[in-house]
Each structure stands twice: as C-alpha cells, then as structure tokens.
Amino acid sequence: QSALTQPPSVSGSPGQSVTISCTGTSSDVGVYNRVSWYQQPPGTAPKLMIYEVSNRPSGVPDRFSGSKSGNTASLTISGLHTEDEADYYCSSYTSSSTLVFGTGTKVTVL
Amino acid sequence: QVQLQESGPGLVKPSQTLSLTCTVSGGSISSGSYYWSWIRQPAGKGLEWIGRIYSSGSTNYNPSLKSRVTISVHTSKKQFSLKLTSVTAADTAVYYCARGTTGIENFDYWGQGTLVTVSS
C-alpha cells in the first residue's frame, strides 16, 4: 500500500491560517470517513488531533478543523500559535482492512 | 488514564528477529471496542503502520511487512507483542505501540516509543 500524499512543509505567521492536504485513492480516503490527523512535536509520540475526518477529541483546541472532498482530506489550523509547530500526519482506513499514514508535513510558525 | 509502554532489546543483529512487548495499564485489553497496533518511524522519516490485533486474536498486517511480522496478544498479562523476522538496517526505527478504536480507526493512546537499532 502506498503512503497518503502530504506536502512536505507549510508555514505561516502567528494568527494566520494554514491548510495541510492529504491525498489518497478511491480505496482509502475516497471511500471511508475514517481519516485521522496526528500532531508530533520533535522527540515525542504522535497525538490524535482529528478523527473521522472532522471530529476533535476532548482537549484539542477548536482552531484545528478537518474536512474531506473526494480522495483528499484536509487539516486547517486557524490562527496559528507558536506551539502548533510540529510534524502532522494523516491516516486512513483502507479497503484491505489495513491502515495507512500520510507522508507527513512539517508546520513552521514564522 | 490508559497508558502503554514498549519494552525489548534496543539492539538486534541483522538477519535475527526483533521482539517487542507493549504493556497496557489503566484500561482493559480485552474490550472489543479497541484493537492494538504497532507503528514504526525511522529517524527523520514518517510513520509506518505495521499491523494490529484484536483481543480475539484476529490480526491485520501491512502488506509490505506481512511475510515477516507476527503480532500476538496475552490478555492475562495485559500485553501484546511484535515479532519481526530477518531484520536489516532498514528496520532500524522508533517502534510505537498504540490503541486503535474499532470502526473509527484512530489511535487515541500511544506508548512513548522505543528505538530499535539493527546492527552487527
């Protein structure tokens, strides 16, 4: 299975909004709403930020939001904070009953 | 609060078998609402899903690793394990264990990760 495609990096100034795309296929992102997003600061384990495309776990700030259109899911951070600087990964369930992660995106707060 | 902790050798020789165990505390390993996964991350690279096991023993594996991977669960010990055979330097990575939610397919709890280096 191939990794989902994400841009290597995105950046923005504090207060700005950034959007990270996650492109899959009609065998994963395009057919299931089981898309999640994870935040991983350097040297730490990933943290769940979004599940089922657009749901936020308790404790995740509402500036994080998710959406999906066709084979592409997106994570938007509205109003960047310095502490949002991290790597972000999407994941999706697949028609083979497996899970696949995205290639990862580094978010830089300028 | 659910906690997961990986344990096992930090150094494995090429062609040998990598063996790791994940111990679950603060929650049940037997609930059908969850499954238990292994995920790895080579230094400076992205996450790779290795596979998962339900408390029933049912498993799914990453097709690229399937021929070398076995995941097993030991419910009485609240542990699940990973075995990866015939390792090479390409298997050097931080290995994470994580809890997944059935039907939602997210990982809500993760271990801290353990570095396994394959080297002679």
Low-confidence stretches of chain A (pLDDT beneath 50): none
Indicate whether B100 pLDDT > 90: yes
CA distance A99 to chain B (A): 6
pLDDT at B32: 86
Task: Measure the N-to-C terminal CA separation of chain A; round to a whole number of Å.
Answer: 35
- Interval B2-29: pLDDT, tens: 999 999 999 999 999 999 999 999 999 9
User: Chain-wide mean pLDDT for chain B?
Assistant: 96
Q: How many CB pairs under 8 A join A and B?
A: 65
- Interval B61-82: pLDDT, tens: 999 999 999 999 999 999 999 9
Which residues of A are less than 8 Å from B54 in CB distance? none
- Interval A69-87: pLDDT, tens: 999 999 999 999 999 999 9
The two three-digit tokens of residue B71, written as one number: 């995941």
pLDDT at B31: 87
Q: Return the amino acid letter for A102.
A: G
Tell me whether residues A1 and B48 touch, CB distance under 8 A.
no
Mean pLDDT of B105-120: 97
What percentage of chain B reaches a pLDDT higher than 90?
A: 97
pLDDT at A1: 81
Residue with tokens 């292994």: B38
Tell me whether residues A100 and B46 touch, CB distance under 8 A.
no
pLDDT at B91: 98
β-sheet bridge partners, residue A9? A106
Nearest by Cα to A97 from B27, B100, B29: B100
Which residues of B are less than 8 Å from A92 in CB distance? 105
pLDDT at A103: 98
Which residues of A are less than 8 Å from B48 in CB distance? 101
CA distance A89 to chain B (A): 8
Q: Which residues contact B43 (CB under 8 A, 6 or more apart)?
A: B92, B93, B94
Indicate whether B114 pLDDT > 90: yes
